């Protein structure tokens, strides 16, 4: 229960228990000097009451003091190691665990969460958890354990004094917990404002070209200033909402000293205790209140960090895609059978889609924007799972296959190309990590990359910047096509793969693809009719349904078909002039 509550790994939970026990032991050992002090004073008092007794020998007590100091050093060092050093390892494990879990979550999850939000979980929330378990939780649990032991020991000496000293502790903790709802409200508002500010800053940096071209920089900066001001105000309110209850509780806690003095004096006057016991009680409770003050502060921090822990837990509880680790279909026919699919808003994107993309053929998906073509392509690779119906490859339902295993048989080139800040060669080699330079060059030439790569002084060793910022849209897309060619997978998904190419380069890439994709199951999505004119089959989508399918020639010749109408409109628009 604690491991789930605090979002710990198995090793992190074990380290937490060790840290709590180490903190408890360190707190208990801190009382050793009080015990030595009590024994020494008791010996001197006995001598004063009975002068015939020899003065106590101080050597054993000196040894006691030395042993106490050694034990204090050892336990404090142990507590430090088990509450600080191990936590940093747990923080690293937790970040890796979250990243690994994100790798296995369906892509539909990322449609619900933006990059700034997920980055905040991995960086900020994990850092909050790290601080929580290095500075708060082990000490909190350790203090609870040691305080209970102290309470039992004090009660043995005198339960009245123990009650007078300890009664404020449960009262202050309960009072602090009652403010949790109040603190949560302001913490939630602060975190929301922080996320909004991060989103706006990221958007401001990414959209500089658009903002400058539209003279919108000043206006957007004013928007950011307002967000910063709002975040400052909400952060101040959140800190105040946490600080006031903690300071009030810590002040209230000190009433225990006053009540101990009052009860102690009363017991002294009735001779129920002696002066030495009373003094030792006063020394002990001052040592108890310091760690309890930490407990109060820690409780408030735990309340404040619940939102961070909840966000981390929400990711861990997201259902992952699983399946068989082996995938050996008899062929690579891609079959959609009565497929239904909707995103989070519940609006159906695909409604009863059925078609077959045969192995060795090029199947083209066409239709107006928003008709479901790209969604079908993503379902074909199990980027999402269907709501109803099946997608099968070679007769095997792909929802039963592990996504990573499945994707070894797929190459994808999508409309939105993602490149990394490395060399052109490294970006192409992602398609096949063990590919030789010669294989990379052949794939690049087939995708018509030579034309722009050889213009650079370093050629294929040119650094292309973050997400290929130094390249044009068409150049970025050709690198993506080269990746797919290099991977040489039996199923190829092309979603507007030539959309950013001019007519000449499009023709060259199409010719290269026609040769290199021979014998594969190819699913092509395109808006240009000429791009799919040589396809083996056309599947026409409209409003999430398959409304027509057949060969390009057959559909073009049918003047009543939607494909014929789309083809004629596009051919007519090609003659437009300005």
* Domains observed in the chain: 2-316 (1.20.1560.10), 334-408+536-578 (3.40.50.300)
d(CA 472, CA 502): 12
Helix axes 159-166, 137-157, angle to 10 degrees: 150
Output the 3-class SS for 267-312.
HHHCCCCCHHHHHHHHHHHHHHHHHHHHHHHHHHHHHHHHHHHHHH
Query: In this structure, are residues 36 and 68 in contact, taking their beta carbons and an 8 Å threshold?
Result: yes
CB atoms under 10 Å from CB of 566, counted, come to: 18
d(CA 515, CA 530): 17
pLDDT in tens, the chain (578 residues): 667 776 777 777 787 788 788 888 887 887 777 777 777 777 776 666 666 656 566 777 778 888 888 888 888 888 877 777 777 777 778 788 888 888 888 876 776 676 767 777 777 777 777 777 766 677 777 777 877 887 887 788 788 888 888 888 888 888 888 887 778 788 888 888 888 888 888 888 878 888 888 888 889 999 999 999 999 999 898 888 888 888 888 888 888 888 888 988 888 888 888 877 788 778 777 777 777 787 777 777 777 777 777 778 888 888 888 889 999 898 999 999 999 998 766 678 999 999 999 998 889 999 888 888 888 988 999 988 899 999 999 999 999 999 889 999 998 887 778 888 889 999 999 888 889 999 999 888 888 888 889 888 889 999 998 878 888 877 888 888 888 888 889 999 888 766 656 666 666 666 666 666 778 899 988 777 777 778 889 999 999 999 999 998 898 888 888 888 887 777 765 555 55
Output the 3-class SS for 343-381.
CCCCCEEEEEEEEEECCCCEEEEECCCCCCHHHHHHHHC
d(CA 538, CA 366): 7
Burial of 161 per CB tally in 10 Å (0-12, 13-18, 19+): buried
Q: Is 516 helix (H, G, I), strand (E, B) or coil?
A: helix
Nearest residue to 53 (alpha-carbon basis) of 61, 44, 62: 44
- Percent helix, percent strand, percent coil in the chain, to nearest 5: 65, 10, 25
Strand 362-366 and strand 521-525: pairing?
parallel
Helix axes 180-206, 217-253, angle to 10 degrees: 160
Backbone angles phi, psi at 416, to 5 degrees: -90, 105
pTM above the 0.85 mark?
no
């Amino acid at each position: 229960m604690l491991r789930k509550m605090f979002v710990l790994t198995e090793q992190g939970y074990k380290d937490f228990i060790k840290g709590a026990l180490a903190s408890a032991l360190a707190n208990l050992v801190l009382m050793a000097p009080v015990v030595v002090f009590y024994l020494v004073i008791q010996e001197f008092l006995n001598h004063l009451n009975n002068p015939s007794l020899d003065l106590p020998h101080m050597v054993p007590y000196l040894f006691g003091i030395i042993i106490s100091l050694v034990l204090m050093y050892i336990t404090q060092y142990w507590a430090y190691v088990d509450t600080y050093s191990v936590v940093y390892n747990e923080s690293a494990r937790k970040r890796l665990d979250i990243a690994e879990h994100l790798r296995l979550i369906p892509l539909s999850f990322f449609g619900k969460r933006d990059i700034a939000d997920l980055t905040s979980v991995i960086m900020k929330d994990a850092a909050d958890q790290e601080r929580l378990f290095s500075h708060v939780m082990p000490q909190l649990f350790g203090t609870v354990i040691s305080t209970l032991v102290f309470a039992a020991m004090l009660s043995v000496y005198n339960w009245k004094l123990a009650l007078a000293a300890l009664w404020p502790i449960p009262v202050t903790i309960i009072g602090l917990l009652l403010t949790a709802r109040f603190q949560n409200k302001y913490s939630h508002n602060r975190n929301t404002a922080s996320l909004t500010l991060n989103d706006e800053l990221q958007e401001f940096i990414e959209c500089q070209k658009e903002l400058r071209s539209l003279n919108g920089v000043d206006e957007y900066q004013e928007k950011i200033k307002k967000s910063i001001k709002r975040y400052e105000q909400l952060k101040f309110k959140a800190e105040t909402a946490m600080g006031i209850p903690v300071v009030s509780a810590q002040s209230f806690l000190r009433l225990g000293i006053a009540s101990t003095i009052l009860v102690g004096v009363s017991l002294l006057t009735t001779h129920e205790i002696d002066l030495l016991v009373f003094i030792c009680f006063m020394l002990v409770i001052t040592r108890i209140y310091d760690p309890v003050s930490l407990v109060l502060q820690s409780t408030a921090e735990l309340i404040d960090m619940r939102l961070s822990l909840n966000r981390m837990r929400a990711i861990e509880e997201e259902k992952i895609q699983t399946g068989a680790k082996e995938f050996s279909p008899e062929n690579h026919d891609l079959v959609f059978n009565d497929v239904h699919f909707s995103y989070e808003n519940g609006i159906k994107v695909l409604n009863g889609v059925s078609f077959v993309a045969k192995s060795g053929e090029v199947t083209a998906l066409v239709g107006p924007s928003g008709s479901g073509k790209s969604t079908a392509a993503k379902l074909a690779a199990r980027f999402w799972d269907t709501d109803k119906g099946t997608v099968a490859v070679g007769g095997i339902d792909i929802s039963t296959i592990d996504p990573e295993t499945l994707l070894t048989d797929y190459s994808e080139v999508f409309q939105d190309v993602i490149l990394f800040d490395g060399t052109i060669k490294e970006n192409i080699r992602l398609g096949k990590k063990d590919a030789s330079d010669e294989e990379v060059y052949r794939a690049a030439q087939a995708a018509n990359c030579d034309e722009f790569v050889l213009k650079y002084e370093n050629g294929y060793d040119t650094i292309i910047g973050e997400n290929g910022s130094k390249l044009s849209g068409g150049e970025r897309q050709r690198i993506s096509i080269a990746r797919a060619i290099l991977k040489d997978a039996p199923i190829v998904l092309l979603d507007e793969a030539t959309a950013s190419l001019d007519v000449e380069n499009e023709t060259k890439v199409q010719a290269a693809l026609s040769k290199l994709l021979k014998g594969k199951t190819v699913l092509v999505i395109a808006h240009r009719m000429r791009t799919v004119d040589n396809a083996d089959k056309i599947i026409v989508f409209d409003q999430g349904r398959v409304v027509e399918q057949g060969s390009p020639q057959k559909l073009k010749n049918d003047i009543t078909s939607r494909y014929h109408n789309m083809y004629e409109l596009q051919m007519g628009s090609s003659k437009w002039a300005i």
